[in-house]
Structure 1
Amino acid sequence: MNNTALLPLPYTRPPLSMNDSGASRGAAFAKARARKQIREDICRLATIAWLPRGVDHVTVQLHYRPRDNRVRDTDNLWATLKPACDALTVGKPASISRRTKRPVPAQIGYGMVQDDSPRWMAKPEPIIHEAVKGEPGALWLELSWRYPAELAGVS
């Protein structure tokens, strides 16, 4: 049995782009803050939407409706999609890096699936829609998932 949900995101444009260079130390910190914020937003929105946890597999597709019809490519949306997908996993506890011996902060996760590897998650190419005159830009996730056979009543 497949289930679906649309998860509207609180952004009028992608918070991250593959075109963001991040060459300076400040830019790298800004990108890290943006990734953390995306994870927190997705976890909060998934909770509000009562999305399930512990499903067998989820497909996550990012949709973007820009405010105008300038030419854009879908490649740039991957930078926003990646932390959104990470947020749907179980997350990671705080730890100490084996290599640097420095603390690694915890990464929050909703727990919809175990990991964002292909075994648990599919990530089709993002979709860019036509702009709607007079409307602000919008982003949303389209999710579809399967429950494990034992939870779906299938033997």
Structure 2
Amino acid sequence: MTRSWSIILPWATPPVKPNGGHGNVYAHAAKVKRTRQTMGLLARQAGIPPLAACRVELTWFVPDRIKRDVDNLTWTLKPLCDALAGTKAWDHKIVPDDTPEFMVKPMPAIIYRPGEPKEMILTITEIPCTT
């Protein structure tokens, strides 16, 4: 039986963006750190146990058809995945590393959901280890 966890993230929009610090590396680093700390806490609260490997999918649900670049979501996905495999005190290490043998990270998705508020969900699914 495959286990899966869907975590509703506390952000309506991606917290880490390619131009989020507008050139200020300290502001950008602070956003990355806060995002990673938040993900570590959410993963612990969800009770995700250590896994051999996992698939991590980021989905952003939006209420309108404004053009958005899905590539920009990868800037948020990276600290989320780092928090699931990292060694910082605030990380929740569920897999040995965030390399492809332990963590599959498909391109994030943006899904139109009319009449609903913006919402970001991270889905973590247990998969067999490839090693």
Say whether the fold is shared (TM-score over 0.5).
yes
Aligned Cα root-mean-square deviation (Å): 1.9
Partner of 2:40: helix, strand, or coil? helix
Change (3 A) 1:108 1:137: same
Which of the numbers 82, 85, 92 marks the counterpart of 1:86? 82
- Alignment gaps of 5+ in structure 1: 93-106, 149-155
User: Runs of 4 or more off by more than 6 Å in structure 1?
Assistant: none
CA–CA separation in structure 1 for the residues paired with 2:76 and 2:86: 19
Shift of 1:71: 0.8
- Alignment gaps of 5+ in structure 2: none
Give the % identical residues: 33
Partner of 1:34: helix, strand, or coil? helix
Is 1:33 the counterpart of 2:30 in the alignment? yes
CA–CA separation in structure 2 for the residues paired with 1:45 and 1:30: 23
Shift of 1:41: 0.7
Q: 1:5-154 to 2 correspondence within 5 Å?
A: 5-18=5-18, 20=19, 22=21, 24=23, 27-53=24-50, 55-92=51-88, 108-133=90-115, 135-146=116-127
CA–CA separation in structure 2 for the residues paired with 1:142 and 1:128: 14
Q: Which moved more, 1:2-11 or 1:78-87?
A: 2-11
CA–CA separation in structure 2 for the residues paired with 1:84 and 1:141: 9
TM-score by length of 2: 0.88
Letter in 2 for 1:69: R
Shift of 1:14: 0.4
Larger helix proportion of the pair? 2
Please list the CA deviations of residues 71-116 of structure 1 after superposition, one character each: whole Å capped at 9, or x if unmatched: 1121010000000000001424xxxxxxxxxxxxxx6320101111
Aligned length: 129
- Cα contact 2:82–2:98 (8 A) shared by 1: yes
Shift of 1:147: 6.8
Shift of 1:23: 5.8
